[in-house]
Each structure stands twice: as structure tokens, then as C-alpha cells.
Amino acid sequence: GAVVSQHPSRVICKSGTSVKIECRSLDFQATTMFWYRQFPKQSLMLMATSNEGSKATYEQGVEKDKFLINHASLTLSTLTVTSAHPEDSSFYICSAQGGQTLYGYTFGSGTRLTVV
């Protein structure tokens, strides 16, 4: 079945530094990838949608200069949290769609970011 690999699974960084999270589709080409943020005991909040080779579309209220998304190939999308602050601490999850029907979404295992 479709597999999405997300790394790292956990990262701790100092305030003011940048962190990059990778999301790879291992056995299919992901034309579209989505990045979510999830706070404890809350649902997934869509941050942005990225299509291969084009600029990401950010949801309202998400700072595109802070959360840089790159989808340079059909198998890799990256989310970079720039100048991280403690309030950016959260669980970040990617999902990939391989151009199939809507139920073809596959999620990564998530990245827990802690900014100290």
C-alpha cells in the first residue's frame, strides 16, 4: 500500500533556530501534499497545500514566511519552521495524494517539534 515517510519523528530546537521536516512518498508519486498542525487533544489544522513544482497555498492565518514549504519533486515535500519560537511547538503531520480519488490520502507518522 501507499507509504508516506516523515522525518524526523521528534525534534527539539532552540528558540530562534530553523527546523526542516521532510515528507516522502515511498511507493507512489504525490502530486499534492498537505501539511497539518495538531495541538494536544485537538483535530488536524490544515496549514498549507503544496503541488509539485508550484508555490504552496497557505490557509488563512498561516504565515508563509515562517512556514516555508517546498515541493520540488513528486516524492518529496519539506516544511521549514523558520525562527522557531516556543509557541510553534506542536505535532506536524503531512499527507500525500497520489492523483487518485479523494480517499487516496496517506498520512505520515508526524513530527513532534519542541522549541525551548
Candidates 11-19, 62-70, 72-80, 106-114: pick the segment binding other proteins (CB under 8 A).
106-114
CB of 81 to other proteins, least distance (A): 18
Site for other proteins in 51-90 (CB under 8 A): none
Site for other proteins in 24-53 (CB under 8 A): 32, 34, 41-44, 46, 49
- How far is residue 28's CA from residue 19's CA, in Å, rounded to a whole number? 26
Q: What number of helices (H) and strands (E) belong to the chain?
A: 0, 11
Q: Provide DSSP, 35-72.
A: EEEE-TT--EEEEEEEETTSPPEEPTT--TTTEEEEEE
Query: Phi and psi (nearest 5°) for 86?
Result: -55, -35
Give the residue, chosen from 6, 25, 77, 78, that forms a contact with other proteins under the rule CB under 8 A. Answer: 6
Residues that bind other proteins (CB under 8 A): 4, 6, 32, 34, 41-44, 46, 49, 91, 93, 95, 97, 102-103, 105-110, 112
